[in-house]
Structure 1
Amino acid sequence: MGRNDALRAARLRKGWRTMEAAATSITEHGQQLLDDRQFTVSARTWRRWEGDRPGWPAEETALVIHDALGRWPEDLGFTTPPGWIRPEHHEEADMQRRAFMSVTAAALVAGPVAPQHVDPSLIDYFQQQLEGHYRADMFLGPHDLIGTVSAQYQLIDKLTRSAKGETRRGLLRVGAAYAALVGWLYQDAGDMDGASFWRGITQEVAVRSRDPHLIGYSLVNQAQVRTDLGDGPAVVELCEAALDDADRLVPKVRVMSLQQQAHGASLLGDRAAVDHLIDQAYGPLARVDDDLPWGNACRRTPGYLEVQRATCYGRLRLGAEAVSLWDQVLDIVPETARRDRGVYLARHATAAAAAGEPDHALEIARKVTDIAIETQSSRMRRELVTLQGAMRPWQDAQVGRDLAEILEPVTVGS
């Protein structure tokens, strides 16, 4: 018979070795929390919860479970009923609406604006600032930069409305690059609504600039969001659209399109396409020589294409091959690239688990937690949640309990 492993693991982590002990403990906890001596959970009820049809507890019982185990029932294997909104989500939804409104306000300045002279040298100024933002992003993570970069985009948008001719086109080009960076920061922070909004702004401004390279770049940006959403076909379609007129594109946009299409292929389970696309990207990578300020990860990131291949192999559950690639990649990634290195280490640990090496996975995971706390990267947190899933076969062993303890400061509530 099937069983609810998520609830069982939570019980064992709590130290409740039997279902009878769990029923007694949750009853006592509920009576104290609710100040209600009538509150009870029987051993029979707990056995049903750990079975293959756990059902759904009453609302006050759900509150007790959350208070005792630190998880809501939908995160513990229960069957979530239609319309259930856990209490904390009411407040979260209000906060998200307010945050999204502020995102929109930062991108769309209500017009018209007062005309002003716009000096063409401002284009170079914003481009130089952009390169500084890229460097800061490697060290800081998204939360410290979103406000600064989105405010600068707002200024660029305001200036664009007054600019004419080539100055206007230059501001549109740099504005698209700023919008793309803000979209990435929101994506890294785990706010997919904000990321999608800013990716849309990027594409709109790129089209207005009539710059084919930026238009291709904006399509790859959209594909990145779709990759995080697990939508393989959409990733492939967007990258194919970017490559429709590949001869007009600078090499780095071709590199970005090909490697992102490989991610789409990995979501579709096509290992042969992954290897073909990444191998194909090596050609244009050797010819990247433009001075455009955006999209330079392919020449700034050591082992860029093998990072993508290793990530795709991990998604394809090619554990041993992914581990071998990550070993090579991490040898050349500098310690100063804290956040990227943390993400790569988390993926390395997941690959080790998939290869049946739980102790190796645990050893790697110890290195990641401090980086995840420091950078507050939701991308890294998602990678660690994926690692937890890969380590599920060992959740009752000492290595599994050690992993849960190490990751608790990062993954609780994820």
Structure 2
Amino acid sequence: MSPRNDALRAARLRAGWRTMDQAAAELTAHGQALLGDPHFTVAPRTWRRWEGRADGRGWPPEETSQVLHDALGRWPEDLGFTAPAGWIRPERQHEDQVERRTFISITAAALVAGPVAPQHVDPALIDYFQSQLEGHYRADMFLGPHDLIGTVSEQYRLIDKLVRSARGETRRGLLRVGAAYAALVGWLYQDAGDLGAAAFWRGVTQEIAVRSRDPHLIGYSLVNQAQVRTDLGDGPGVIDLCEAALDDSNALVPKVRIMAMQQQAHGASLTGDRAAVDRLIDTAGSLIHRVDDDLPWGNACRRTPGYLEVQRATCYGRLGLGREAASLWSQVLDAVPTTARRDRGVYLARHATAAAAARQPDQALEIGRAAAEIAVETRSVRMARELATLKRAMRPWQDAPVGRDLSEILAPVTEGS
């Protein structure tokens, strides 16, 4: 009878351990060298029990887990074992501590307590921060979230300090630009995979937008909240927020209406409503030629080639319409400049998943290879999640050469996703 834990068996064979007895001996020697403990042992019967179970039971002790990871490059939950409740891999414990300290430090930028010393605030600062904002948008395309979160949130802190001293139109102008900065911090956290921090900053965006009394910014802030709900898979929540943004659509600039409708289409795709997806995106498309405002935020519909077809292709992929989505992604990617590395990587990952859904695994492999290279370079968690979706879509071929090749390509990106 063939072994039942295919993930562990595949890892063993990749390591060159042809039999389970050899694997036990090699892991024993590796553990003794790694831990400096001559008594560390993995018995052949233990390995046979691990590899012979499909239910993932038999979680190895902590020291053995570390040895397995060092020898095979994967933690037990990636080797077919079922993690016990509360298990946090050691490297993730350290990352969580670092991320929590960073979040607490950066969040303090939005929660400066008490009064500040009054100062003169020149109205020219509004233009200064707006021009900086456009630079941050461009930098985000090239750098990704991790290198920008600290910089943008610190500028938000400065804007908040100035708002407390400014008066009249200067104050309202700073509130408007402050909302745009908070929205960008929220997006950076969302791209980095921290949805809790993203939701916090989306809330800050909404508060500042309401304080500014700007109906366009208030609509924009609701769409920002809906983006987080989309990543959480909450279709009804997305629809609720977008409908609220569109309650008085005639008072909104076309750009905000387009953003709300395309995001509502994502909500519709999460609820399985293709007709609503097409209707919303088609209606948004009829407004594109009317976008002529000079607002410094929310300009993806002007900046992103094929913006609405990107949304349609993403929705089609979510609906399981593999062939239709793959055809759209081919058209979209032809127009995406090579300089937009992160967007291109996300689109490639979605294209590969669509190809897998269309039963074209070889094409999915080649497209996924290009996406994985960009994911390693940019460290985008959003892209890693898209590639994890691709990995799931390729499960029908996981034991075929194309599936094994894909697992090897994606390992540096999706391990632990």
Same fold (TM over 0.5): yes
Structure 1 position 85 matched with structure 2 position 53: no
Aligned mate of 1:191, from 185, 190, 194: 194
Map 1:7-406 → 2, pairs under 5 A: 7-34=8-35, 35-37=37-39, 39-43=41-45, 46-55=48-57, 56-406=59-409
Contact 1:65 1:72 in 2 (8 A): yes
1:237/1:389 Cα in 2 relative to 1: closer, same or farther (>3 Å)? same
Q: Alignment identity in percent?
A: 76
User: One-letter code of the match for 1:26?
Assistant: L
1:93/1:406 Cα in 2 relative to 1: closer, same or farther (>3 Å)? closer
| In structure 2, distance between residues paired with 1:68 and 1:208 | 56
More displaced, 395-404 or 126-135? 395-404
More displaced, 295-304 or 39-48? 39-48
Aligned length: 414
TM-score (norm. length: structure 1): 0.92
Larger relative CO (CA 8 A, sep 6+): 1 or 2?
1
1:157/1:355 Cα in 2 relative to 1: closer, same or farther (>3 Å)? same
| In structure 1, distance between residues paired with 2:225 and 2:89 | 31
| In structure 2, distance between residues paired with 1:81 and 1:288 | 53
Q: Match of 1:331, SS?
A: helix
Q: Match of 2:287, SS?
A: helix
| In structure 2, distance between residues paired with 1:2 and 1:176 | 57
Task: Quote the offset at 1:222 in angstroms.
Answer: 1.1
Contact 2:56 2:81 in 1 (8 A): yes
CA deviation map 1:310-357 (0-9, x unaligned): 111112222111110101111111122121111111111111122121
Q: Any stretches of 5+ residues in structure 1 without a counterpart?
A: none
| In structure 2, distance between residues paired with 1:344 and 1:405 | 21
1:53/1:368 Cα in 2 relative to 1: closer, same or farther (>3 Å)? closer
| In structure 2, distance between residues paired with 1:247 and 1:144 | 39
Q: Any stretches of 5+ residues in structure 2 without a counterpart?
A: none
Q: Give 2:414's aligned residue.
A: 411
1:161/1:31 Cα in 2 relative to 1: closer, same or farther (>3 Å)? same
CA deviation map 1:66-110 (0-9, x unaligned): 222222223333222223333333323321221111121222223
Task: Quote the offset at 1:398 in angstroms.
Answer: 2.5
More displaced, 180-189 or 105-114? 105-114
Task: Quote the offset at 1:218 in angstroms.
Answer: 0.7
| In structure 2, distance between residues paired with 1:373 and 1:212 | 40
| In structure 1, distance between residues paired with 2:48 and 2:274 | 43
Q: Match of 1:158, SS?
A: helix
1:145/1:89 Cα in 2 relative to 1: closer, same or farther (>3 Å)? closer
Contact 2:176 2:209 in 1 (8 A): yes
Task: Quote the offset at 1:43 in angstroms.
Answer: 4.1
| In structure 2, distance between residues paired with 1:150 and 1:298 | 24
CA deviation map 1:167-208 (0-9, x unaligned): 111110110001101111111122223212211111110111
More displaced, 30-39 or 151-160? 30-39
Superposition CA RMSD, Å: 2.3
1:232/1:22 Cα in 2 relative to 1: closer, same or farther (>3 Å)? farther
